[in-house]
């Protein structure tokens, strides 16, 4: 934590955290589109705008941008933001907030934690942004449950995060692909509508993290943008529908890994 109470300084560029900033910005835009009417980009569901704003800044600056967004939310929005940060990324227990008496302080603590464990200092291989995404997706998939491996059903993000830290990055990508495919197959048994809804949900989340669909181009990170297309895919060829989702999963993973390692797009 910085002496002035802001997020702790982290050396180097954004190192993939522009993608985290994007997905959180889009989540806020979907939930509270009118929270900052003076910011023309606030309600945008276009990931490249949010990514472009954060890219090139330091990690400390990106964290400050995100905290400034949270400060624009009404009280219920700040409470929800804190819940999401803890449920998908931090897992900070209540007793870990000793001395932090306000939502603003707690949000700052959680953002600092996210940026700390994804830093190059704690992760010299640059896989932090990829593992951040993996942890969030794994926690969301765990809500659907049904995995034979009990660890995959854990709702708390730290277990997924800790597992990802001890395996090669390709194992992280393969594990997420396998879990997502299993849930797709389960949804498909319930009918086209359920399967289309599941893929649309995945693709909108991948898009918010900067993932791009084939043949390329910036997608909107909005489930409604994808639903009709997903129904069409599934009606014509369910296997192709999953291939499309899987390709976008891997595109998202490689963008996060490349950015975390400082590689050019």
User: Per residue in 174-230, pLDDT tens?
Assistant: 999 999 999 999 999 999 899 999 999 999 999 999 998 877 666 789 888 888 888
What residues make up the domain containing 224?
Answer: 128-260
How far apart are the C-alpha atoms of 224 and 219, rounded to whole Å? 12
- Tell me, yes or no, whether 97 and 198 share the same domain: no
Other residues' Cβ atoms within 10 Å of the Cβ of residue 133: 30
- Tell me, yes or no, whether 64 and 143 share the same domain: no
Q: Would 246 be classed as within a structural domain?
A: yes
Q: Would 123 be classed as within a structural domain?
A: no
- Tell me, yes or no, whether 69 and 161 share the same domain: no
pLDDT band for 264, please (50, 70, 90 cuts): low
Q: Would 105 be classed as within a structural domain?
A: yes
Question: What pLDDT is stored for residue 99 in this prediction?
Answer: 55
DSSP secondary structure of 191-224: -HHHHHHHHHHHHHHHHHTT---TT--PPP--HH
- Tell me, yes or no, whether 150 and 249 share the same domain: yes
Domain stops at, among 117, 142, 171: 117
On the 0-12 / 13-18 / 19+ scale of CB atoms within 10 A, 149 is exposed
- Least confident range from 13-27, 84-98, 133-147: namely 84-98
Burial annotation 220-245 (CB, 10 A radius, 16+ → b, else e): bbbbeebbebbbebbeeebeebbebb
DSSP secondary structure of 84-139: HHIIIII---GGGGTT--SHHHHHHHHHHHHHHHTSTTT-TTS-HHHHHHHHHHHH
pLDDT over threshold 50, residue 8: no
- Tell me, yes or no, whether 83 and 165 share the same domain: no
Q: Would 2 be classed as within a structural domain?
A: no
């Amino acid at each position: 934590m910085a002496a002035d109470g802001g997020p702790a300084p982290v050396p180097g560029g954004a190192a993939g955290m522009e993608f985290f900033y994007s997905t959180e910005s889009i989540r806020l835009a979907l939930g509270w589109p009118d929270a900052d009417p003076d910011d023309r980009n606030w309600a945008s569901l276009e990931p490249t705008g949010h990514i472009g704003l954060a890219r090139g800044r330091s990690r400390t600056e990106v964290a400050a941008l995100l905290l400034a967004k949270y400060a624009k939310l009404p009280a219920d929005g700040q409470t929800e933001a804190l819940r999401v940060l803890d449920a998908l990324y931090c897992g900070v227990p209540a007793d870990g907030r000793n001395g932090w008496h306000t939502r603003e302080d707690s949000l700052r603590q959680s953002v600092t934690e996210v940026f700390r464990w994804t830093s190059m200092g704690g992760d010299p291989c640059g896989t932090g942004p990829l593992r951040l995404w993996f942890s969030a997706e794994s926690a969301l998939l765990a809500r659907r449950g049904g995995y034979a491996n009990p660890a995959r059903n854990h709702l708390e993000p730290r277990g997924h995060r800790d597992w990802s830290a001890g395996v090669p990055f390709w194992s992280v990508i393969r594990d997420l692909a396998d879990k997502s495919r299993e849930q797709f197959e389960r949804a498909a048994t319930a009918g086209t509508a359920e399967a289309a809804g599941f893929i649309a949900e995945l693709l909108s989340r991948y898009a918010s993290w900067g993932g791009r669909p084939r043949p390329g181009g910036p997608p909107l990170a909005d489930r409604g943008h994808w639903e009709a297309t997903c129904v069409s895919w599934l009606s014509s060829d369910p296997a192709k529908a999953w291939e499309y989702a899987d390709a976008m999963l891997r595109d998202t993973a490689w963008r996060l890994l490349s950015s975390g390692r400082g590689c050019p797009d």
